[in-house]
Chains A and B, each alone.
Chain A
Amino acid sequence: MTDLTNVNTALWREITESCGDIRKCFNCNTCVAGCPAAEGSPPLLIRNLVRKVLLGLEDGLLEDETPWLCVTCSACEEMCPMGVHPFEVCLAIRRWQSRNDETFIPAAIPEIFETGHTQALGQVREKRRAVGLDEVPPTIVKFPELLEKFREMLRNTDIVKDNEYMFKE
């Protein structure tokens, strides 16, 4: 039996603030049936996550890494018969986890702060030259003064302000 004596009944409001109303979910499993990551080990079972949120089972949810398995294909969004947005719920749970436990914050975020990208675009010169392209692509890697402005913008966001130590240059 799931212990419901010690739950956070406001959890669904906190999490669903930015993903729409999930109260229409009646656990039909359509979101799971079409989900590639439902074949993971452990599987991503989005309907169970929705249930955890609605019941306020925050301890279990804060330890649950399955939302991070999502392949982002959005088949669940298309198929949900109740107009719930399961993919958005998945992202909203990740955000809630990242806010409550900074170890969830993806390493890609400091990388993008640092270079503007998730790949080292400034370090593939030879590979690009070999196929006849400019060695440095015309993105922000080519414009250091814009990168500085980009970082300035990000310094004003909550994620950077709240986790300053991750964003040293």
Chain B
Amino acid sequence: MRYGFFLGCNVPAVRPDVERAIRLTMPALGAELVDLEGSVCCPAFGAFPSADETAGLAVSAWNFSIAEELGVDLVTECGSCYSSLRLARKKLLEDGEKREAVNRLLKPAGKCFRGTVAVRHIIDVLYNDVGTETIHRALKFPLDGVNATVQYPCHTLFPSEVVGFDSPSGRPRMLRELVEALGATVQTYSRELQCCGGAGGFVKGSFAGASEFAFKKLDAMKRETEAQLIVVSCITCLEHLDRMQNEMNRKNGDTACAFPVFDYNQLLAVCMGFDPAQVTSISTIPRDGLISRITKC
């Protein structure tokens, strides 16, 4: 198992502890990661795809060409990167004219899009390539007696024919089973399948609306579950659900909403015994108390 680790922009800059967790856990589970040297923004839907489609496809193709030269599929944690790259790849494969236009743009840089490598989300790799049994066997600190909720990254669900790997996308279960493999109990709630609302232009363009949207989800989680943490597998879900709890507490004048939020690989890293100071150091809602309980120190 060998993959090109596509970093994108937010993971390495905003939450490098997630990058560290991925770099430590994946090889330890037999999934070798190679760097995609010279990679750029995926690009984000709100960038080139919103102004110049061919330019956007060329930027995606730049990234593909790096993985193609190495002969590895790309794996990414970021939902937006995953979806942007999947959609771009489909367009490049299906539309010969666009592909030629993009390859004309790439040529002076000595690059070319051939369509020989796939884009994988890290949940897909963890579940289908690594497997829950291998994960379970690698644990030093299982999450026995811990209740969790999961946030499925919307970009890995829809449109299912382009991005889907869970079956069916409308009733995903892989992230849930991955969390259960850590020993935790996953509790469902009414708004479980609603997206976090943090991606795209919603927060920037309508902060009040986007906040209320997240508050409804967090409220439902509070009322309907006994969760001690939220597990996500997307940098946007991680940042947004963490930040929105702070917003909600500020609005309500209390500290009642305080679910620690973990990227799956961060939680996995803690359970595998890696140093929490490296793999879970950055958050708004404190995670230290729960981490101490997990590692019993």
Contact = CB atoms under 8 A, between A and B. Distances in A.
Contacts of A138: 7, 35-37, 39
A157 B154 CA distance: 31
B218 to A, nearest CB: 14
Contacts of B289: none
A81 interface: no
B125 interface: no
A8 interface: no
B55 A150 contact: no
Contact of A150 (B49, B62, B198): B62
Contacts of B212: 39
Interface residues of A, number: 61
A159 interface: yes
Interface magnitude class on chain B: 35 or more
Contact of B55 (A78, A99, A152, A157): A157
Contact of B53 (A18, A36, A70, A120): A18
Contacts of A98: 50-52
A143 B39 CA distance: 10
B205 A65 contact: yes
A27 interface: no
Most chain A CB inside 10 Å of its own CB: which residue of B45, B208, B210, B212: B45
Interface string A55-74: 00000000001001111111
A71 B199 contact: yes
A38 to B, nearest CB: 9
Interface of B: 7, 9-10, 12-14, 16-17, 19-20, 23, 35-41, 43-55, 58-59, 62, 80, 83, 105-106, 108-110, 154-155, 157-160, 163, 169-170, 194-195, 197-202, 205-206, 208-210, 212-213, 275, 277-279, 281-282
Across the A-B interface, the 6 shortest Cβ-Cβ residue pairs: A40-B206, A159-B52, A119-B13, A157-B55, A40-B209, A73-B154
21 contacts: A40-B210, A41-B209, A68-B46, A68-B205, A71-B199, A71-B200, A73-B158, A74-B154, A95-B52, A108-B44, A112-B59, A117-B41, A120-B13, A131-B16, A132-B278, A137-B12, A139-B36, A139-B38, A149-B108, A157-B54, A157-B55
